[in-house]
Structure formats: structure tokens, C-alpha cells
Amino acid sequence: MRIVRYSRVGPAGRGVVIGDDVYELPTGSTEPGDLVGPVSGLALLPPCEPRTIVCAAANYAGQLAEKGMPHPDHPSFFLKSPNAVSAPNSVILRPAEVTRLEYEGELAVVVGRTARSVPAARAADYILGYTCANDVTAHDWRADGQWTRAKSADTFCPLGPWIETTVADPATLQITTRLNNKVVQKESTSDMVFDVAELLAYITRWITLQPGDILLTGSPAGVGPMSPGDFVEVEISGIGTLRNTVVDQHIAPSSLSSTALIGGESVS
Ligand code: MG
């Protein structure tokens, strides 16, 4: 099942994608309701509203090899802030002070139930599904040690386009990132140093994750810069494609409210 959230007058809509169409998905139900319309005609919102976003660093064999890093003994994590979450087809804002903004295509795990001290063997029981993410990073600010702003500026965590709940094996997916239609990252999730279950087991020893929270699983080799005007896509086999455009923050149209940029609960 593919679960989407979309903008409409009033509370955000929640639906299920069947073919090219979206049907209403009442809260608490797994049965599709009335037809909403073609997914291409809806303003999609981020597919969930995480309270916590935990992110694995340097978790792909390709990236370790690229950077000459040794195989780690345990996963490394950092946080992204919920303010960074943005919608499919929305813009990624490049702050005026940033000269090198980077894409990081990643598999995002969406937590389905309260997860605390989850045994790796039972990780699947705590996962609602998977979506695509772009762990947008301001390289300048990471280099100067200010990871909080480097990873969590507004719009630095596009998610979507939907949550795919029927992924048989998250270790057999292909992640492809394209910049202006050119492939810049392509690697299998089988190349993860620590797999989804190991990551979830490790971090929930200390951080309780709630339904809708996000675990980013690290980016393949090929992380690189993107510039205003660039069109970036993160495609994951069996899930879908997340598309965003980069714009300069200082020239972003003032008529675009933060609601329009990141997808809010209502439209006027
Ligand atoms: Mg990353």
C-alpha cells in the first residue's frame, strides 16, 4: 500500500495510491474510500510528520571506499530537525551564505509503532514502511563544525512521494539519484554497512521513536553539489521517486509562504 498525504482546504488529506489515482484513507482504516483524483493533480505533502529524525552517517560500502574510511564497529548517528521536512515537488532553499549545497539520496524508514529497545530480529514489526529522502547538507557548514544548521536548515529534508508499506526486503533496493536527469548516485541498499534492522535496534536503545518518526539510513557513494535551478530526483526501486528543485533562498518568491514551501495543513 502506498500512503500519501495531500493538501486541501481544511485538514490534510490522507490517501492510498492505486495505479495513478488516490483514494481516501480514513484514519485508522486500511480500506480505501472514495476516489480523490489523479495523484499527479494533487499537491502532495510530506507523507508523515516526524517528531524525531535520526540519521545514519557513512553507512554505505561505496561511501566508505570513496572517503578511505575504515569499516566502523558501530553505527554513527546525527539528528535532523523536523522543521527541515519538506514535500515532494517542493523547493530546496539554498541559504545565501552557502556556496556548496549537497544532495544525499537515502532510504527513509517510517516508524509504525512506539519503538524502544527494539531487537534487530523484530525490527520489521516496528516499521510502517519506507519512503525516499534527500539528506540535504550545507557542506560549508558541516566543514565548520556547525552540523545543526548544516543538516537542519528549512527544506533540508524532502520526504516522499509516499510511504510504501509493502517492501519485502529493504536490503534489495536500488537507490538512484539524478541531478538534471543525469545519474549521480546508484547503489544497492545491500551495500549498507549496518542494515535497517541493525540501525533501528542500535538507536532505539537510547532514543524512543514514535509512529511517523524517520530513520535515514545513509547515502551511497557519489554525494555532490547542487545549485539553484537544479532538479534533483531520488528514486528507490519498488517505492517511487522524490523530486525537488533547488532555489536561492534570497530570491525565493516572497509570495510563497512557508506553508506553500514545505506543505502545511491547509491552503487558503
Ligand atoms: Mg546522509
- Domain ranges within the chain, ordered by starting residue: 1-42, 46-266
pLDDT at 26 over 90: no
CA of 141 to the centre of ligand 1 (A): 14
CA of 23 to the centre of ligand 1 (A): 33
CA of 18 to the centre of ligand 1 (A): 30
Per the prediction, the chain carries an average pLDDT of 93
CA of 107 to the centre of ligand 1 (A): 10
List strand residue ranges (DSSP E) for the chain, in order.
2-6, 13-18, 21-24, 35-38, 44-45, 53-57, 76-80, 85-86, 91-94, 101-103, 105-111, 127-134, 137-138, 157-164, 174-179, 182-188, 214-216, 224-226, 231-236, 240-248
CA of 26 to the centre of ligand 1 (A): 33
pLDDT at 258 over 60: no
pLDDT at 265 over 50: no
CA of 57 to the centre of ligand 1 (A): 6
Which residues, listed in sequence order, are joined to residue 176 by a DSSP beta bridge?
186, 235
Average pLDDT of the segment spanning 140-144? 85
Q: CB of 104 within 8 A of CB of 69?
A: no
pLDDT of residue 252: 63
Q: Name the superfamily (CATH) of residues 46-266.
A: Fumarylacetoacetase-like, C-terminal domain (3.90.850.10)
Residue 78 CB burial class (10 angstroms; 0-12, 13-18, ≥19): middle
CA of 118 to the centre of ligand 1 (A): 23
pLDDT of residue 254: 52
CA of 102 to the centre of ligand 1 (A): 10
% of the chain beyond a pLDDT of 70? 94
pLDDT of residue 216: 98
CA of 260 to the centre of ligand 1 (A): 25
pLDDT tens digits, residue range 85-126? 999 999 999 999 999 999 999 999 999 999 999 999 999 999
Q: How sure is the predictor about 253, in pLDDT bands with cuts at 50, 70 and 90?
A: low
Sheet strands side by side (includes 240-248): 91-94, 240-248, 231-236, 174-179, 182-188
pLDDT of residue 119: 98
Neighbours of ion ligand 1 (CB under 5 A): 104, 135, 219
CA of 135 to the centre of ligand 1 (A): 5
* pTM attached to this predicted model: 0.93
Q: How sure is the predictor about 168, in pLDDT bands with cuts at 50, 70 and 90?
A: very high
CA of 8 to the centre of ligand 1 (A): 31
CA of 34 to the centre of ligand 1 (A): 38
